[in-house]
Amino acid sequence: MRRPLITLLSDFGTRDYYVSAMKGVILSVLPEAEIVDITHHITPFSILEGAFVLWQAVKWFPQGTVHVAVVDPGVGSGRDPIVIKAGGHYLVGPDNGLLVPAAERLGLEEVRRIENEEFTLERTGTFDGRDVFAPAAAHIARGVPLHKVGARKDDFIRLELFRYETSPEHIAGHILHIDRFGNVVLDVPSSVLPSDWPRSLIVEVERGERFKARVSSHYEEGSPGELLVIGGSSGLLELSVNRGSAAEAIGVLPGQGIKIWPSAAEKSSEI
Amino acid sequence: MINPLVTLTTDFGTRDYYAAAVRGSILQECPNAVIVDITHELEPFDLRGGSFILWQAVKCFPRETIHVVVVFPETGVERVLAIRAGGCYLVGPDNGILTMAAEALGIEEVRCVESRAHVTNGAKTFDGRFLIAPAAGRLASGSRLEELGPEVADFKRINLFRAVVGSDSVRGEVLHIDRFGNIVTSVSVEDLPSDWGGDLTLEVKRSLWKIKRATCYAEGSPGELILVGGSVGLVEISLNRANASSLLSLKVGDEITINRPQSP
């Protein structure tokens, strides 16, 4: 029989005791739990980045997995702790939008407030990860039915990751994430890139500077320093530089806007 | 059957093979051990930081957990202790790093680990691998504490919880700065009189700051310093969604004073 699987995602870093506190609490409730770290290196307080990484990761886990996510600047204030059932998975964390894109990807079924103190520790007000989310997740992984955890909540906070716009002339998107390799992940599905556009494109960053780029199928394809537009492993467009950092090459940060359109030079050469 | 739970706290970092070697040694003695990292990112040789993190973390783990600590300014010289405390075990060097956590759990028995059966080449540069991990692994696989070595009464201690409580002020020091820039002080929540009201002053490095008492980080307005009772019962100096330690340029060990408001 498979051990109950619990994943953790947070902005806690790995230098403090916070992550281990959550693991200790989970294993106190459910000693046979198998705990997998998604990451603890989300930029502090960045709900958007946390929501995106969670959205990327959840689909690789089996049904029945309980995902605990904590990027929670509002801890201790009025915001509710929630659990979402989605596609046979459970997501546990704060009601600040963090869990919602992942839940919608899995197929959101129901949202409940975590209320029953039987399944939480005494709250200190500054660390719900340890006091509320970890114990509630362990009890849910142990098989406690959701209706015992708390009442349904339909007015939860939503968060939209994909806010790109397209026109026949251009694609306007945003930078969701910059990975360890400096690949710049956009909020634009790869399928949005028109197949009849030329391989040479222009990429414009938020401050107005423009760069030449080329559509490519993999990272290795570019000559050194060449900016590539690639359909990445998450099904989203990425800007990349072969064995270099695209984020450094074009000087961008998460949250900024990016515009892409066909290179006129290429068009004229085709005529 | 429940798998034995072992935690690791070290200054090894995560780029070298050291932490993996300790894990491997534990699993060699006890293949079904579940190993949880508390952290491997202590500042090298930082006994105070290690003591503090361990003290915070141990309370969250169940009885019978074995906490392994490797921070060895003088590896090969310091003795290795195995302590039973509050139904848990702590295994690590006799340099004080274990004692705050052990005392919080309730010390029952302290032994000096003798067995060097696993030393293969006589090297004394890596006692974590050759001495501490095998001892922890043996405990995890069911060995009794007395099998590891003789009982000892004298061992080094560290105590970080220093606060001077006066009628108009409470003085303490910076114990820890977390990833969010929250400044954890050595002043416990009980040290701060509850009848002092909400608006206090904070004195650091001869400058005075207005500071407000709050129950959670989100209660602070932007740029407003707040005093929060943190998750382990110590007073923290924080800024809502910003980094208090950068604003105040404080580092671990610096003195802080919290003053009661002047009566009008």
Q: Mind listing the pLDDT tens digit for each residue in B203-252? A: 998 899 999 999 888 888 888 999 999 888 999 999 988 999 999 999 99
Model pLDDT, residue B2:
80
* Residue with more model confidence, A178 or B121: A178
Closest CA–CA distance from residue B180 to any residue of chain A (Å): 7
What ipTM was predicted for this assembly?
0.88
- Domains in chain A, CATH or no CATH each: 5-148 (3.40.50.10790), 165-270 (2.40.30.90)
Report residue B126: phi and psi, to 5°.
Answer: -140, 65
Query: What average pLDDT does range B96-103 have in this prediction?
Result: 96
- The predicted pLDDT at position A268 comes to 42
Q: Where are the beta strands (DSSP E) in chain A?
A: 5-10, 34-39, 66-70, 81-86, 89-94, 108-113, 165-166, 171-178, 184-189, 200-205, 210-216, 227-231, 236-241, 257-262
Which of helix, strand or coil describes residue A244? strand
**pLDDT for res A187:** 96
* CA B72/CA B11 separation, integer angstroms: 9
Chain A's closest residue to B1, CA to CA, is A32
Q: How is the beta sheet containing A5-10 ordered, strand by strand?
A: A34-39, A5-10, A66-70, A89-94, A81-86, A108-113
By C-alpha distance, the chain B residue nearest A124 is: B231
Mean pLDDT, 10 residues at a time, chain A of 271 residues: 93 96 98 97 93 96 97 91 98 98 98 97 93 98 97 97 95 95 96 93 96 87 86 93 93 94 64 37
For the B164-259 domain, the top CATH level (class) is: mainly beta
pLDDT band at B125 (very low <50, low <70, confident <90, very high): low
| pTM of the model as a whole | 0.90
At residue B199, does pLDDT exceed 80? yes
CATH class of segment(s) B5-147: alpha beta
- Check CB contact under 8 Å for B57 and A15: no
Distance from CA of A121 to the nearest CA of B (A): 11
- pLDDT at residue A62, as a whole number: 97
Residue of A nearest to B42 (CA): A15
| Neighboring chain B residues of A126 at a CB cutoff of 8 Å | 216-217, 228-231, 236
**Region B46-57: what's the mean pLDDT?**
95
Task: Give the percent of chain B with pLDDT over 90.
Answer: 73
Chain A residues near residue B218 by CB distance under 8 angstroms = 73-77
Q: Interface of chain B against chain A, CB under 8 Å?
A: 2-3, 5, 7, 14, 34, 36-42, 53, 56-57, 60-62, 65, 176, 178-180, 215-219, 228-231, 236, 240-241
Query: Is-contact A170 A260, C-beta < 8 A?
Result: yes
CB contact under 8 A, A31 and B2: yes
Q: In this structure, what token pair is assigned to residue A58?
A: 């959840």
Map out the domains of chain B as residue ranges: 5-147, 164-259
How far CA B80 is from CA of A18, B68, B71, B83, B140, in Å, comes to 27, 11, 11, 10, 17
Same fold, B5-147 and B164-259: no
Are B234 and B185 within 8 A, CB to CB? Answer: yes
Task: Tell me the mean pLDDT in the region B82-110.
Answer: 96
Confidence of residue B124 (pLDDT cuts 50, 70, 90): low
Tokens 């919880």 map to which residue?
Answer: B161
Average pLDDT over residues B86-90: 97
